[in-house]
Structure 1
Amino acid sequence: WECQAGALLVLAVLFQTVLGWTGDSLPGASLPLTIAVFAGAYIWLVRLSASQPDLEVGLTEAEMKVLPRLGAVASTGYHFLLPIVVLLWCVLVSRLSPGLSAYWACIAMLFVLITQRPLKAFFRGQLVNGAVWWHGYRDLLRGLENGARSMISIAIATAVAGIIIGTVSLTGAHQFIGQFVEVASAGNLILMLVMVAVMSLILGMGLPTTANYIVVSSLMA
């Protein structure tokens, strides 16, 4: 585990140095080099994952009593961190917009879902046929389905939050609430946080966490 973590840290520093130098010296070659670095890191991590058996779902009680090694378990899914790395890179380094950064992260995740199983089969010396590719596409379709179902509750929550924010904004209460908190707390940050927490509990009654966050952040910011 320590060796794997050290290798990942060294690779991260190396990629940061190379890509940063390329972006400053050869801006036209930054995109092809970034894609090449992503592909190389992805292939190496999938090969590392293929050296370990796939994690099984639904272990028996006897198997769950045996604690697996952290390195062996973590190495089976390092490649799933690459879309997060792409997201952070686009936001923090390339300074892209949040929407465009999320777009490239989603593209990277789709690529990982489709190609991970064929690559694992190739590195394990197994036959890479249409069934293996279809398994990857099935994972993609299942992920899109689960994501769409999860977004239903979030869409309803944000719609309700928008109604509450619009109603409060029309009455002008949002300005009064902010001024009231500022005056009542007398500039005390701790007291201000406590009052905002109490108001978030009141305003968030009956709302899920996402909608409550949107309401409070819009009214108390």
Structure 2
Amino acid sequence: MTTVPVETDTAECGGRRQRKAARTRAGIEEAALRLFTEQGFDATTVEQIADAADIAPRTFFRYFPSKDAVLFGDLTGELEQMRLTLRKRSTQEHPMRSLTAAMLDAAERMEADREQHLLRAELLQSLENTGDYELHLLRQRWMRDVTELVTEHLGTDAATDPRPGAWSMTLVSCFGSAMHAWLVRTDGAPLRDLLTEVIDGTSRGLAEATEEFTAQ
């Protein structure tokens, strides 16, 4: 009789749980975005979202703290994916290169969900001032969290080292600009290609901007 190692069995169970959780989260997002579009964000309740996703309301709150959080997507999960990518990169590599690799990976993951991201953007725009305010808070949180990732990867102190914040701000802005173009354009340009183009142009511009001063 073949005995399955405990480690292997545990890993398989963990993998199944993660896949099930991912399916549940995706189902909640799909149901919520559909209801937001059909009847409006304000008119949609958590109970309605849970019913449409065929889950209990308490299950909804295991994945999202509020219906607003559904609208803005899974930032926590995306940050964890970026952290895993950074951990695989060499500590001898410049953190901006490592962060670029993590963002390009994120762009590839988002490519399959373009319609969902486009729907989110349209819904946020329809919320006018409230949407603008929430989006502002979202960007602040994203900047802070990415800075923490870079600081952790670099092994430095963000309170005294300005580099992680500056590098994160630069690349997060590049990602935001590329994503906006990706959602607006109709030529089918992949997000990864647009992001690569924006980062390349930005890096060359920064190099030229400092040439005169570093040469002295």
Normalised by the length of structure 1, the TM-score is: 0.35
Higher relative contact order, structure no. (Cα contacts within 8 Å, ≥ 6 residues apart): 2
Question: Which structure has the larger Rg over C-alpha atoms?
Answer: 1
Provide the TM-score with structure 2 as the length reference: 0.36
